[in-house]
């Protein structure tokens, strides 16, 4: 069973929790891990495209990555390919 480390350090508490609740907790924990992996992969893709297009990834470009992650790949890929650096900064800095 994969549970958050803080919970595994509480054996008495674990014994008091129902098996059904533990299954739900494990599922939620694993879902969170998977979502984190997916976000990391999307971040890496955005960083790679920005580096390729603009030859580096400076602080200004790094700041727009998080707002871009709120978009689907279908939305952010065309923007990454079509918009200029200035247009990307203007669009995503105005959202912060």
Taking only the tens place, the pLDDT of each residue in 4-47 is: 887 788 888 878 888 888 888 889 999 999 999 999 999 999 99
Residue with the bigger pLDDT between 76 and 2: it is 76
Residue 64: how many CB atoms within 10 A of its CB? 22
What is residue 18's three-state secondary structure? coil
Tokens for 63, please give them: 């700041």
Model confidence, pTM: 0.74
């Amino acid at each position: 069973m994969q549970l958050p480390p803080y919970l595994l350090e509480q054996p008495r508490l674990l014994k008091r929790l129902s098996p059904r609740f533990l299954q739900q907790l494990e599922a939620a924990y694993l879902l969170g891990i998977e979502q984190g992996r997916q976000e990391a992969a999307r971040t890496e893709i955005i960083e790679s495209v920005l580096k390729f297009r603009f030859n580096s990834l400076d602080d200004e470009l790094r700041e727009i990555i998080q707002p871009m992650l709120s978009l689907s790949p279908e939305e952010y890929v065309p923007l990454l390919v079509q918009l200029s650096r200035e247009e990307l900064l203007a669009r995503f800095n105005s959202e912060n």
